[in-house]
A and B are shown apart, each in its own frame.
Chain A
C-alpha cells in the first residue's frame, strides 16, 4: 500500500476483501450486541399448567433473571372476556417491571382460551377463586417459590373473584385491585348510563332504556331462560335484538349477576391497594371509592386507595388510549408505549406499595409468609 496524489493504491482483490470483511465483521458485531441485549432480559417465561376439576389451565410463570429466588410472586387475575395469559400484551409492561424488582408473576389462559380446557362462560366468581387456590397449590411446589409471599393483582371483574380467594387464605399475603367494582348490578346500570350519555340520547329515551335495562336485569336475576330474554327484547326493544347476548353469555351473566364483593371484602384480612382511573366509564368511581372506604373504615392501614388522573378503566392514559376501542392499533400503540402507556405514577405506586408489603412480611416470622393453609 502506498500514498500518491492523495489516493491510496491497493490491489483490487485485497480492497474488495477489505470491504467484504468490514461487512462480515460489522454483522458479527451487530449479532453480538443483540445477544448481549437479549441476555439482559429481565425475566424468563416458563410454561406452568395446573388442573381444575380434571381440566387443564395453561399458564406462564414469569421468573426474574436478576435473582435465584424471587422476593414475591404476583398472580394475575383477569377481568371480563376471553383473556389469554398476557391479556393481549397488557400485562407485559407489568411483568417486566415486577421482574426488575425481583418479583415473579403467574398468569394463565382463562378456561377455554388458548391452551386451557373448559369454558370461562360456564364459571362463576367462586369457580375462578377456586382456580386461584389450585394455582397457588401448584406454585408452592415450584422450587424457590415454596416460601415466597404470594399476592394477587386483578382487573375489573376480578374485583368479585379476589375477595373470595383472599378471605380465609393464609397463602395470599396482599392484593392489588385495579378498577374493581363492588356490586354487579350497580356497575351494569352505570355502564348503561355512560353508554347512553355517550350516544347523546334524549332524557325520555334514556329513562326508557334504563327502565328496560332494569327489566332485563330482573329477568336474568329471577332465572328466566334465554328465550324469555329474546322474547322480551323483541317486544320492548326490537332494535336491540342484534346486540342481544348469546345464550352462553346470558348464562354467564345469570350465574354472576348477584355478585357483590361487600361481604367478602369485610372478611379480607390482607392489605389491599385499590386503584381507579378518573376517566373510568365502566365503573362508578366515586361510589366505589366511598364503599371501599366504608368497608375498611375500622382498619384504614389495611387499605391504600388512589384515583389516578388521566386514567381510564384499564389505568392507561386516557388522553392516549381513551378514544381507542380494543383493536389492532390499540395493541400496537400499547406495545410501543409499554409502561409509559399507564397513567403517571400508577406502576411506580404499585411497586412501592408491593415493596413495603414484602419488607413488612420479611420482618415478621417466616411462617407467617405462607406455606400452611
Chain B
C-alpha cells in the first residue's frame, strides 16, 4: 500500500502542472469566446454570475477527472511493471470512476467560491482590466478545486483501479456496461457541455435579440451548427480518452460493434450537427417560423447541444468498443 501511495504521490508534480495548464486553457478558451463573440461585445456586465457559477465547477470537474483518470492509468501501468501487489481490501467506498469522487459538498464549496468571485466583479469598476482579473480568478479557482479533488481522490481511485484490474472477473454484461456508460460518461459530460454552452447562448442570443427579444431563425441555425459541431467533436475526443480506462477494466463492454475507423467516426461526429440543423430548418419551414423569442432560441439550441453531446460521447464509446486493437494493445501494456 505504501508503495502505491508513493507511486501516486510521485505523479503529483507533473499532474499539478498539467492541471494548471488545463485550467488556463479551458478558462482562457471560454474568456476568448465571450470577449470575441459579437454582437454584445460591450455588454460583458450581465452574466458573470451565471458564467462563474457554471464555468468554475464545470472546468474544475473536467480538469480533475482528466487528471485523476490519467494518474490512475499511469499508476496501474507502473504498478504492473514493478509488480506492486495490493490486497483486495473489500472497501466498497472505493470507486473506479473519477466522477464518484466529486461530492455534493465539494460542488457547493465551488459554487460559493464562484459566487464570491462574481460578487467581487460586480462591485468592481467592471473595466476591461477587471474582466481580465475575473477570468484570472476563475483560472485560479479552477486550479485550486481541480488540485483539491486530485489530491484527495488520487490514492483511493488508483487503489480501486488497481484492485479492479488485479481482481477483475468477467467484464460487465451489456446492461451493466450501458448503465456504466450512461452514469459515468454520457450524463456528466453532456451536462457539463450543455451548462457551458448555456452561458454562451444566453449571452449571444441576448445580444442578437431585437428590441422585443426576438432572434432570427438563420442566426439560431448558424450558431447551433457551430456549437453542436464543437461539442460533438470535443466530447468525442474527451470521452474517447476518459473511457479507455473503463474499457481496460472491462466496465465498458459492448458486443456486436463492428470496426469503426477514425475517419468513419469523425464523419459521424461531423454529420450530427448537420442533421440537427437540417431538422430545425425543416421544422421552421413547416411551421413557417421566421424568428424565435430568445428564451425559446436558447432552449432549442440547448436541446441540440444535448443531442450533439450525447452523440459525440456515444460515438467515442462505440469506437472504443469496436477497436479490438486498442484494447489488446492496452492490455499488453499493462
Contacts and interface: CB of A to CB of B under 8 A. Distances in A.
Interface residues of A, number: 43
A16 B129 CA distance: 35
Interface string B107-150: 00000010011001111111101100110110011011001101
Nearest to B134: A37
A337 B40 CA distance: 13
A20 to B, nearest CB: 8
Contacts of B140: 26, 29-30, 33
B147 A26 contact: yes
Contacts of B5: 12
B46 interface: yes
B213 interface: yes
B74 A7 contact: yes
Q: Which 4 A-B pairs have the closest CB atoms?
A: A319-B213, A15-B9, A26-B144, A310-B211
B130 A40 contact: yes
A23 B120 contact: no
Contact of A9 (B10, B134, B211): B10
A42 B133 CA distance: 15
A10 B137 contact: no
A19 B133 contact: no
Taking residues whose C-beta sits less than 8 angstroms from the other chain, chain B's interface range is 35 or more
Interface stretch (B12-20, B283-291, B312-320): B12-20
Nearest to A28: B140
A295 to B, nearest CB: 29
Contacts of A339: 45
A34 B147 contact: no
Interface of A: 1, 5-12, 15-16, 18-20, 22-23, 26-27, 29-30, 33-34, 36-38, 40-42, 65-66, 96, 100, 309-310, 319-320, 335-340, 344
B43 interface: yes
A37 B134 CA distance: 8
Interface of A is mostly: helix
A33 B137 contact: yes
Nearest to B294: A319
Given A1-B13, A19-B9, A26-B140, 18 more contacts: A5-B81, A7-B7, A8-B14, A10-B13, A11-B6, A20-B151, A26-B144, A27-B144, A33-B137, A33-B140, A37-B123, A41-B124, A42-B124, A42-B126, A66-B125, A319-B212, A340-B46, A344-B211
Given A7-B78, A33-B140, A340-B43, A40 B125 contact: yes
A104 to B, nearest CB: 15
Contact of A12 (B9, B117, B120, B144): B9
Contacts, number: 113
A8 B116 contact: no
Contacts of A18: 12-13, 16
B266 interface: no
Interface of B: 5-7, 9-14, 16, 43, 45-47, 49-50, 74, 78, 81, 113, 116-117, 120-127, 129-130, 133-134, 136-137, 140-141, 143-144, 147-148, 150-151, 211-213
Contacts of A29: 140
Contacts of B211: 309-310, 319, 344
A41 B9 contact: no
Given A15-B10, A30-B137, A337-B46, A320 B144 contact: no
A29 B23 CA distance: 14
B16 to A, nearest CB: 5
A320 B137 contact: no
Contacts of A309: 211
A85 to B, nearest CB: 17
Contact of B151 (A1, A19, A37, A319): A19
A23 B143 CA distance: 8
Nearest to A41: B123
Contacts of B113: 30
Contacts of A34: 116-117, 120, 137
A44 to B, nearest CB: 11
A126 B241 CA distance: 74
A340 B50 CA distance: 15
A23 B148 contact: yes
Contacts of A36: 133
